[in-house]
Each structure stands twice: as C-alpha cells, then as structure tokens.
Structure 1
C-alpha cells in the first residue's frame, strides 16, 4: 500500500510542477494547542488527492507528521518522534499541535497534492509565554541614610521572549547613575524548557526625604505587564538634635503633675535618655518622658535632658511654677448682734499680681454697727491669670424683735377682719395676740417675720401683738371696732339720703302742679278777652300795669 502511494505520488510529481508559497507566521501560547493553517485556511481544491504535513528538523532535514487524503478519511500519523502523540488535523486541514513548547518554534509545511498541481504552504511558528511570576526577592527592611542599601531583586521568571524589568520610586522610573541608584540586570535561560528568567537588583542611597517611599518593579512583556510594590520603607539615621518639651498645657500651677519629653530627631528614636532634675541625673530606659508629680513652688528652675550615649547632645527648659495662697479671717459661721463691730482680715501670697473680689461686697474690712441687712454669705476670691482661690464666711446678725407694722383690714364679705403684725428679729421671733384668731398665716424671710390672724370682733376692742425671741420682746396695740357697729354706721347714712330724695321729688311735683294751674287760668283769661273784642269790633285796650302783670305771670309759668 505504501509503495503504491509512493508510486502515485512520484507519477503526479513527474507530471506537475511544484509550487511553494511564501512563509506565513503563527504565534502560539506556551502549553496550549498550536493551530497551523494550511493555505491560510482556504478551502481545498476540487481535484484534491491528499494533504501532507511535514516539518523541518533541527538538523535541517524534513520530517513527516501526518497524511490525510480527504475530509472523510482518517489522517495517518507518520511521525515517529515526540510529535507522534501531539499532532492531529481538523476538517479544514489545519495542523493541531498540543502542549506547545519552545521546541515547536520551527517551520511547518502543508503539502497539497491534486491531479494537476503540487503546492506547499510553509508556516513559521513562534511560541510566546508571559512570566509565570513577578516578585521582589530579598527585600530590605529599612533603608540607611547616606549608605548604599539593596532594596531588593525583581525576578520575572520563565518567559518567552524574556521580560524587561524597570524600577520605580513613588511612581517615577529610576535611572541608574552608578552612585545613588545602581541597577544590576541579569538574564538566565532554562536549558530544559528554553524559557528565560529576567532579574534586576536595585541598590539605593536614601535620604531623610525617602522615609515612606514606595519602590516598585515593573515587568514588561508582549503578553502582559505587571507591577509589584516594595515598601513603604523607613529610613534609619542617627540623631542630630535633641529638644526638651514640656507636655503640660497652660501655666504650671503648684501641685500640678508636669511631664517632660526628651525628643531626638534620629530614626529609630533612642531608647535611653538622661533627665537632669534640680541637680540629680535620672536615666530613663525605653521611654522619652519623665513626670514631676505634685510640683512645688521651690521646684521652679532649669531642667535638662540628653542622649544616654552622648550627653553633649542636650537641651534645656525653664519651668515657672505659679502659686496663689489666700487666708481669710473669720471663716465658717460668724454670729453677731445688731450694733456689733465686724473685723475681716485678708492675707494673700502669689507668684504674680493677684486681684481680690467679693461676692456680697464689703465696704471696708471693719464694719461698725452691724444691721440685719449686713447678714449673709461673704465670699472672697483672689485670681491670678487662670488661678483662683476662694474662702467664705457666713455672717448671722442677731437681735431682739422690733415690731415694724400692725395693721387691720376688713374682709370683702364684711363679716371679719384680718390683723397683720410685722417684725424684725433674729433668731425668728414667735407671735402672741391678746385675742384669739383663726386662719393663722406666718412667714419669715431674711429676718423679717409676718403673722396674720382672722377675728370677728362683736364689740370694740384694743388688740395687742407681742413678738419675742431669746434676745427680747416687743409689743404694739391697735383698736378694732365691732363689725356690728360698723354695719349700723354703714346703713344710717343710706336711710337719710332716701328721705332727702323723697322730699326733693315732692317739692318738684308741687311746683309742676302750680305752674300747670297758672297756665290754665291764663289761657282762659286770654280766650275771654279775645271773644269780647270780636263782638264790639274794638281793640282790647289795657293799662300798662295790667300788661306787666300778664308778662310776669307768663314768665312765672
């Protein structure tokens, strides 16, 4: 069978002219299936006899892969090397090579044989692979100021073609200068796989400004770009300056706790310091603070701190302690009698100018002839900046009671009277009346006492109010008339006024009746006089005296 196929192929080749087309290119992915097209994927010829795939071996000789006569027949694998289990052909006569490796980077040829032609279509295959990993190895923990430090080595492993590695700091590409920035690249190829690993080591000289810097390496490849960060980094450098700080806010007041902080600008900070406290040197480990508890006024002065391993590197601060003392005499509860003298003594001591103020003002430190109005709570305040001291005393002014007012008032219903007795006295006085009463009401405010009673006097009385306390007593009297006599006195004036009203009405009525009678007589008289004149055709002639009388009568009416 093989000899017949070869004889047929020889006859065809003898009668046809071999045509070789230009080489195409195909890029495949490492580990995946390579698809090699025959004649760019064009449909086969109508008079197709068979298609054969072959390849170029490493020594330059051709090697057979497989033959397929038509679409219906199964392909015959002719390869006897590693391709025997990896090659196949699809219904479009494309060559399929599974599990691509770099050894597949060669030329594969599709030979198309028809009754009249023999054509070959070579295809060059390239296998690409992106880096299997990109990482920074041997990363530094910290950077040293002014000292070359290896930041790390960036590795882009197992790629084809080899990846390109670049370094960045805070997003900007680093350019090697051979001094502050030294970049050392390297490239290795795995002889078994042919894959390349790219490495790049960065050595960097840091400054203080590089604290917190983020370094990154970027792998650039045809199939993928990847960036890996390293950092942020801390920059270590020795201390160049020491400063002493007082952490207590605001003015320092006696009895305050004062915390001192020794700050060094090195990184990492020093672990031990010396604090110089009023001539004593105190070593502090694993801390940079020292606290003065309940500081006293004699603790004011200069304080220093330094590095434990270099006492020449030091700093100092002056502490001022504010204090304010107040002594008030008397204090507490002070009891005096009306008319007594009160003497008040104030003593103050302060680290600055202090201002004295009073709540319930005193006109002078000596008050003569005390009155009830002088009683109360006196508070003395002394201020200096934000510092305040206060002391107080309560003055109680005592005295025997004195009645200031005794009044009476008729109730609205006129059936009883309310008597009110007011007095001043300390302690609170008690009240007694010379008459029994009801609805008693009492009050006592600021040494003023008031007592009210309700009485219904049936006869005129003289009532006495008596007030007393442990220091004396006082009395006052008032006349109280009977509610019944007052009722009678209220009614009599009303009766007299009624009689007078009746008399006036009678007089007015009499005058009106008299005027009506006179008017009627006058009217009759005039009527008769007129009738006489009409009868005689003569004018009525009267004397002048009669005329006057008539006018007077008319006016009277």
Structure 2
C-alpha cells in the first residue's frame, strides 16, 4: 500500500516521536508517540515501536485505539508465534489485521479513522506502549469554474465566476489571479467571497470562492485564474478572456469617400460610437430630415446634388445628446463643348469652336490634337492640316471632365506636282503625280503603265507608274473623289529617239521653249484685245457727236494726240 508519509522511529525527532518512561515496582512502562498520514480510501499502515524489531522475550502485542468519547477500544492481540486474534466488535472487526512486522493494517481509510492507535508490547520485564496519531488526507477534485460571466461591465461589480474545490481533507485554499497577478480583496474593485462546506457522511470539505470584479476598458481580453492549494497537490483553472462592456462616451461621423465629393456621387456616412458593444441604432440628420437607421451604422445619400452641401449629423438612438457632425462640400465640374463627335467640313470653311465650363472652384483647361498639346483651336479658314482628333480637358482638384471631336476636312483633289524621271538604264520613264484631297482621291492616267505605287497620308496622295514611250507622248494625270477632279498633262519623249545622255534635259528645254512661246502669244493677244476695246470706245464717242449734230470741241493739241493714237492702233 502507498503512504503519503510513514515516519520512522527516531528518538531525536520530538515532533514525530515522543518518549515517556515510568517504572512501577519491577515493571517499567515506556510510551512512544508518533504521527502517520494516510490517503483516503487506501490501507492505513500503523507501525509498532516505530518499525523496530520486537523484543527477544516478547510475550504478546496488543493493538487498541481511543474512541471518540475517550474510552479505549481493543482491536487485536498477537502472541509470539501464534495467529493474531481480532478483539474488535465494531466496524474495525473486518478491517484490521497485522503483518509480520507487527504493523497494524486498516483497509479503506476514511476520516473516521483519524484516531490515536496504540501498540502495546508486553515482555517478561517490560510493558511498552507506542501511540500513533493517524491523519487521513484526501486530494480534492479538479478545480471547477461555475457561473462563469459572459462579459464584464465597466465600473460595475460583475461576478467573474465561482471557483469550486470539492472533497478535500484538509480544506483546500483558493487564490484568484488576473493575468498572473494575485488579486487581493479590497471591497472596491476586487470582491472575494469564500465558503467551506463539510459533507456529513464523509467529513470531506468543499471550498467555494466567488470573485466579483469592477472592470475598466483596459481589462478587455484579461484572463482570470482560480487556483487551489492543498498538501497533496495544487491545481488551476482559467476563466476568460472577457469582453468589457461599457456605454458610449464619444460619437464621431465619418464620410466614407476617398476623394472630393462630386455631384452625382453616392455618399456614405458612418456613425461611430466607442461603446462596447457598439450601438445598433442611430439617427442621421440629413438636410433637416431625421432618419432612424437600425442594425447598421451607415447611411448613404444617393446621387448627391451640388446644393446638398452643408452640415450633417448623427446621434445615438437611445441617447440623442450623444451626437457628432460633419461638414460636406459637394464639388462639381461641368463641361460643354461644341462641336462634338465627328465633324466633316470642306477646305476653306469656317468652324466655330465653343467651350463652356462651370465649376465649384478654379478649373484648368487644356487642349490636345492627336494626343499632343495645342492651343485652343480657332478655324477661320480650314485647311487639310487642321484635320485631326481634338480633345478638351478640364480639371479641378483631381476631378477631370473631357469632351472631344474629330475634324475631317474634305476638298476636291488638286494636283500639286506632275514629274517624270528617266530610269538609270534609260529603258523606261517613271511618272509621279502628287495631289491633295479628302476623301482619298483615285488616280487615272491617259497611258497604260506598270509597277504602280501609291501612298496617302494626311490628305496628301502620291501615285507612280512606269511607262516605256515608243513615241513622244502627252500624258495626262487625272485625280478625283466625290467632290470633284483635277487634271494635269506632261510631255514625255520617246526613249528610242532621244540622246540617252541628254534626253531629259532636251525634254525640259523643249518644254521651256513651248512655255516661252505660249507666254509671248498670250501677251500679243492681250494687247490686241485692249486696242480693239479702245477703238470701239472712240468710235462710239464720235458717232454720238454726229447724232446730236454737235461740233467736236477740243484743242488742236488734243486732236493731234487722238490722231496719233488711232494710227498706233
């Protein structure tokens, strides 16, 4: 059997063993006192004579005990070399026995066994008594937490829980700790009520300890510990962590917007209170209107208008004195551009561009054409170079508005150049016709060619053909689109009749000579027309004089000049 403590015989240890001797006549009686601690429910082993060997002249050993009323009770007698005789007539009759070392054995220890048991050793010359006080210890059950709180209340005594340590002997003590620090009752913040109850049938005790605690905000997530202390072992149990409840002390109103509030935006307001748990109902004051919102702390103003700026408020539904306000500024930026979209105009037309803006603050205007910055466009007389994609952008405080138009400038095609070039080997001619026009013009030649090549960009078109003239030719290039056409001719000499080394220069000389002759003939014709007009004028003037039978009036000098002019004509 296991024992918590089994003291040995030690005359020097007065706390566990005490000796008293007395001699009467020729018989000396010695009394030795000691203590034994047994475990509840186990077998109690009570040593005789501290476990020392019996005397050589031993006659018998008798075990007895002191009853609760102080009277003696016999248990058993053991004579040397004989079986023990049980003398007990009470409950010990079936529970006591003796081993070969004369130790008293008591099965199923209970608290009722906490007596003084005496081993009387009788020899021929001595009678020794060895009283032993028996204590029965019982380890308590594991610490239990009952009536555990769900939350703690700020500034109010709240029961954290009841700590119970049951079926112990001796009585177990209980200690409360918070975050590892021992709590001491002060009847203000910490209130501890401890009680002990003894079970009559077993004599075992149950200790209960109730902790009440006045929490603060800083006690959120605090862990409380209940610990039991007992000679047979200590035990602990945790309580918590807890959430601390407290009323709201401050309310704030937030505008959940990442940037400036623009007209037409959905604006969400959030009412925040610092209470725990957070309030579930709020009043939102929106431009003079009071709205109750339950089970939410937000309110959304849909498509806010520019005139909706101003002060907004929110308050607790159960305490409207707890309120907060926030000022909201609604920014707006309007842009109107005319024209917009695709605009088709003709070369030489006028295109008015009108831009209007309206904003809540200073706005910056910028223009771009085909992605490159330009000044604000003014089109008094459109040219092909004015065509492109125009974009007007207005910005204010991170807000941007933009509109655009695509300008297409159309015009009937016009040939800007018609050239010829001899190939290096002199076997063919390359004719190039260049023109301007929108939409893209088509090319037509008065001769058949090969190796045609064309290009078109920004209203400029180029077309090349290769010809092999066998005779001198006059070649015409015709360009056309839906708005009209244009034509130009060029003289091309035969590649067989010209000097290869001088054929291009000769063609150019011929062309220049033809041009000079044409200019001279034109001047002669113009002079003749002027003379004829003058002659008809003078003739009509004279006939008028004859019709009225009036005599010409003039000096002789004027007559001479008139006559000279007539001869000149």
Question: TM above 0.5, one fold?
Answer: yes
Distance 1:367 1:20, change over 3 A: same
Residues 343 and 365, structure 1, Cα contact 8 Å, conserved in 2:
no
| Alignment partner of 2:188 out of 179, 184, 196 | 179
Q: Which residue of 2 aligns with 1:504?
A: none
The offset of 1:147, in angstroms, is: 3.2
- Determine helix, strand or coil for the equivalent of 2:307: helix
**Which structure 2 residues correspond to residues 130-209 of structure 1 after superposition, within 5 A?**
130-209=139-218
- Determine helix, strand or coil for the equivalent of 1:201: strand
Give distance in 2, aligned partners of 1:169 and 1:386. Answer: 54
Q: Which residue of 1 aligns with 2:551?
A: none
Give distance in 2, aligned partners of 1:338 and 1:117. Answer: 151
Comparing both structures, which one devotes a greater share of its residues to helix? 1
Residues 134 and 156, structure 1, Cα contact 8 Å, conserved in 2:
yes
Residues 433 and 462, structure 2, Cα contact 8 Å, conserved in 1:
yes
Q: Which residue of 2 aligns with 1:213?
A: 222
Q: Which residue of 2 aligns with 1:61?
A: 72
Per-residue CA shift, 1:187-237, capped at 9, x if unaligned?
Answer: 222221111122222333333433443333221122222222333334444
- Determine helix, strand or coil for the equivalent of 1:83: helix
Distance 1:62 1:85, change over 3 A: closer
Residues 466 and 476, structure 1, Cα contact 8 Å, conserved in 2:
yes
Q: Which residue of 2 aligns with 1:437?
A: 449
The offset of 1:96, in angstroms, is: 4.2
Give distance in 2, aligned partners of 1:91 and 1:413. Answer: 143
- Determine helix, strand or coil for the equivalent of 2:143: strand
Give distance in 1, aligned partners of 2:77 and 2:447. Answer: 147
Distance 1:27 1:359, change over 3 A: farther
Report whether the alignment pairs 1:397 with 2:409. Answer: yes
Q: Which residue of 1 aligns with 2:563?
A: none
Moved more, 172-181 or 287-296: 172-181
| Alignment partner of 2:389 out of 377, 392, 400 | 377
The count of aligned residue pairs is 474
Per-residue CA shift, 1:396-455, capped at 9, x if unaligned?
Answer: 011222345556677799876665544332101112223333444444333233434455
TM-score (norm 1): 0.73
Give distance in 2, aligned partners of 1:476 and 1:114. Answer: 163
Report whether the alignment pairs 1:81 with 2:93. Answer: no
Give distance in 1, aligned partners of 2:215 and 2:461. Answer: 90
Distance 1:359 1:67, change over 3 A: farther
Residues 146 and 162, structure 2, Cα contact 8 Å, conserved in 1:
yes
Give distance in 2, aligned partners of 1:37 and 1:482. Answer: 151
Distance 1:488 1:237, change over 3 A: closer
Distance 1:365 1:424, change over 3 A: closer
Distance 1:430 1:57, change over 3 A: same
Residues 474 and 491, structure 2, Cα contact 8 Å, conserved in 1:
yes
| Alignment partner of 1:363 out of 350, 365, 375 | 375
The offset of 1:486, in angstroms, is: 9.3
Report whether the alignment pairs 1:335 with 2:344. Answer: yes
Q: Which residue of 2 aligns with 1:28?
A: 38
Residues 159 and 213, structure 2, Cα contact 8 Å, conserved in 1:
yes
Give distance in 2, aligned partners of 1:93 and 1:456. Answer: 148
The offset of 1:16, in angstroms, is: 8.7
Residues 75 and 93, structure 2, Cα contact 8 Å, conserved in 1:
no
The offset of 1:101, in angstroms, is: 1.6
Moved more, 177-186 or 448-457: 448-457
Q: Which residue of 2 aligns with 1:99?
A: 108
The offset of 1:334, in angstroms, is: 0.6
Give distance in 2, aligned partners of 1:412 and 1:77. Answer: 149
Give distance in 2, aligned partners of 1:420 and 1:47. Answer: 154
Structure 2: runs of 5+ lacking an equivalent: 1-24, 503-569
Q: Which residue of 2 aligns with 1:222?
A: 231
| Alignment partner of 2:301 out of 267, 292, 299 | 292
Residues 60 and 77, structure 2, Cα contact 8 Å, conserved in 1:
no
Residues 57 and 63, structure 1, Cα contact 8 Å, conserved in 2:
no
The offset of 1:389, in angstroms, is: 0.7
**Which structure 2 residues correspond to residues 367-516 of structure 1 after superposition, within 5 A?**
367-404=379-416, 419-455=431-467, 463-476=475-488
Residues 251 and 323, structure 2, Cα contact 8 Å, conserved in 1:
yes
Distance 1:489 1:185, change over 3 A: same
Residues 65 and 83, structure 1, Cα contact 8 Å, conserved in 2:
no
Give distance in 2, aligned partners of 1:208 and 1:21. Answer: 63
Per-residue CA shift, 1:243-277, capped at 9, x if unaligned?
Answer: 32222332211111112223333444444332222
CA RMSD of aligned residues (A): 3.7
Moved more, 424-433 or 244-253: 244-253
Give distance in 2, aligned partners of 1:480 and 1:88. Answer: 151
**Which structure 2 residues correspond to residues 503-542 of structure 1 after superposition, within 5 A?**
none
The offset of 1:155, in angstroms, is: 2.0
Distance 1:118 1:379, change over 3 A: same
Per-residue CA shift, 1:343-393, capped at 9, x if unaligned?
Answer: 211001111111111221443442233222221111111111121111100
The offset of 1:21, in angstroms, is: 4.3
| Alignment partner of 2:289 out of 277, 280, 305 | 280
Residues 64 and 72, structure 2, Cα contact 8 Å, conserved in 1:
no
TM-score (norm 2): 0.72
Moved more, 253-262 or 429-438: 429-438
The offset of 1:299, in angstroms, is: 0.8
Residues 138 and 153, structure 1, Cα contact 8 Å, conserved in 2:
yes
The offset of 1:313, in angstroms, is: 3.3
Distance 1:79 1:350, change over 3 A: same
Distance 1:313 1:406, change over 3 A: same
